[in-house]
Structure formats: structure tokens, C-alpha cells
Amino acid sequence: MAATLIDGKAFAAKVRGQVAEHVARLKEEHGITPGLAVVLVGEDPASQVYVRSKGKQTVEVGMNSYEHKLDADTPEADLLALIDQLNNDPAVNGILVQLPLPKHMNEELVINSIAPEKDVDGFHISNVGLLGTGQKSMVPCTPLGCLMMLRDHHGSLSGMDAVVIGRSNIVGKPMAQLLLGDSCTVTIAHSRTKDLPDVVRRADIVVAAVGRPEMVPGDWIKEGATVIDVGINRIERDGKNVLVGDVDFASAAERAGAITPVPGGVGPMTIACLLANTVTACCRAHNLAEPEGLTA
């Protein structure tokens, strides 16, 4: 393997350490403990795992964790009432409603009912607009984690050619905005992009957020490029269940300058950035200085 491995697991541990330090300082100097509320509707097994993991890591960095579990058939009005209550609770600095929601609920309506300053997922339309216009916002966790790793590896991203494969609201679009904010020349590719291999070959930075196992082969990667693989795909290989990314790691690592593995790359950074966003939201709520390096 020629590429440097970008170790998201180690980086996430460092971010959690910075969050924990800031939380300790908030408690000591101001008597404030940041709080994160996570709302889970229904019993989707993957969502249950995520919510448990978020709660555990929230407590580990010294913050208060509030978990709200609602039945799958809860009326939408009840969920909106809970969000209203959390919006008005000063002990809660961050609110995350675990997606996907059951079919009878309108996800956009639910997300946009969260107070923007507590929207630690960064999905509220106000935060999307603030990010798009280069203003201070809550930044979606997964792209924020990717940006942190890229900044750490390169220092300045200014002038680099970046290709983001995927245009979802939760990863592709905010990732492109963040790269643009750091003065990259950004191309957003998607399922209708013509000649994707050629588009990717131009890139100094490739962020793959597609959801197709090992779709990007090594010969699409420019020699020395940095590859950030957001994909999490469960496949069967040699009779075993394994996790793979959207990039064919083995062949891409032969050409890339640096690459994130799956698992152990972008994944661990997402929850670390959720904690970072919560401490940032808490500082903003109290008009206190924000921790350095924990937001875009």
C-alpha cells in the first residue's frame, strides 16, 4: 500500500478528548453541563445501535444524555410536542431526531421544528442556508468529520480540485459547501454524471458518499490524491458479513496519497462531531467562546 492511512478512529478519540476538556472547563468555570437529547421513534435495529452509542459517548465526555424512545405508531403531533418541550428546556443544548422516521411522519417538518441553534445534526433549513451563505451554522456531522480530517492532513485546502460523489442533503451537498468554504474547486457528481471516471481522475480530493460497495476502483484515482470514503456497505464475502466503503480500498490505496479505511475512517468521526456540535451549541447558548477547531 502506497497511501498514508487516515486513521478516523484515532482522530475521533482526539476530538472526543478536546470535547471532554472543554466540557470540564464549562463545568469548572461556569457551572454548566452541556446536554444532548436523542429521540428515537420505533425499533429499527441499526438506529437503536446508533442511539445507544451516541448516549454512551455523550456521557463519556462528561455531558448529560437524555434519551427519548417513542413507539413506532406515535402520532406525529406527539413527536412535535416533545421537540417543542426540548426546544424550551435550557438543560438541552442539542437535539437529534434519529432518522429514518416511520412512514407516517413528515421528516422535513419534524427536522424544521427543532430550534436551529439546537439542531446538532445541521439539517434544519436555517442551518443549510447559513452554511450555503458562509455564515456561522450548525454543520452536519459526517461532512464536518471529513473536513476535519482533510484539514488535519493537508493544512490548507485552498485551490485544490475536489470531487464529491453523491448529492444527498446529509452528506454530499454540505460536504461540497464545506470544501467550497475552504476554497477548493468543487465538482458534485451523482448518478447522472457523464463519464464519472474522468471526473474523478481530475480530483486532488475525492469524497465518495454513494452507498454502492467498492464502486470507485483504484484506476479512477489520480496519483497522490486524498480519498475520503464515506460509504458504509454491508456485504457478504467468503461467507462472512463484512463492511466495505464506496471505494475499492486495496486498488485505491496503491494510487492515493492518503485514504480513509472502512471501517475506522469517517464512521467514528460522525459521533465525535455530534459531541463537538453539542459543546459548540452550548457555548453559543451561553455567549461563551467556542472551542477552537471543533467546527467549520
Q: How far is the CB of 146 from ligand NAP (least distance, A)?
A: 9
Which residue has the CB atom at the shortest distance from ligand NAP? 168
Q: Is 98 a catalytic residue?
A: yes
- DSSP E strands, 79-158: 94-97
Kindly tell me which of 30 and 52 has the beta carbon lying closer to ligand NAP.
52
121 a catalytic residue: yes
Select 86 or 149, whichever has its Cβ closest to ligand NAP.
149
Give min distance, CB of 270 to ligand NAP, in A: 4
Q: How far is the CB of 229 from ligand NAP (least distance, A)?
A: 9
Comparing CB distances to ligand NAP, the nearer of 157 and 165 is: 165
Give the 3-state secondary structure of residue 295. coil
> Which residues lie closer than 8 Å to 256 by C-beta, 6 or more apart?
2, 3, 218, 221, 224, 225, 226, 227
250 and 227 Cβ atoms separated by less than 8 Å: no
Site for ligand NAP, rule CB under 6 A: 142, 165-168, 170-172, 189-193, 196, 209-212, 230-233, 266-267, 270
Strand bridging mode 94-97 / 64-70: unpaired
Q: Choose, from 119, 121, 182, 246, the residue flagged as catalytic.
A: 121
Least distance from C-beta 27 to ligand NAP, angstroms?
Answer: 29
Q: Are 249 and 5 in contact (CB under 8 A)?
A: no
As a whole number of angstroms, the distance between CA 186 and CA 220 comes to 17
Please state, in angstroms and rounded to a whole number, the distance separating the CA atoms of residues 118 and 101: 19
What's the Cα-to-Cα distance from 12 to each of 18, 50, 68, 129, 147, rounded to whole Å? 10, 16, 26, 27, 13
Active-site position among 57, 98, 229, 246: 98
CA angle 266, 184, 147 (to 5 degrees): 20
C-alpha atoms less than 13 angstroms from C-alpha of 96 in its C-beta half-sphere: 29
SS3 121: coil
The residue from 54, 118, 173, 222 that is catalytic is 54
Closest approach, Cβ 287 to ligand NAP, in A, equals 31
7 catalytic, yes or no?
A: no
Nearer to ligand NAP, 86 or 176 (CB): 176
**Residue 197: which residues within 8 A CB-CB, separation 6 or more?**
219, 220
Quote the CA–CA distance of 165 and 193 in Å, as a whole number: 9
Pick 116 or 267: Cβ nearer ligand NAP: 267
Q: Which is nearer to ligand NAP, 113 or 270 (CB)?
A: 270
Smallest distance, ligand NAP to C-beta of residue 50, A: 9
Q: What are phi and psi of 24, to 5 degrees?
A: -60, -40
Cβ atoms of 39 and 82 closer than 8 Å: yes
* Active-site residue set: 54, 98, 121
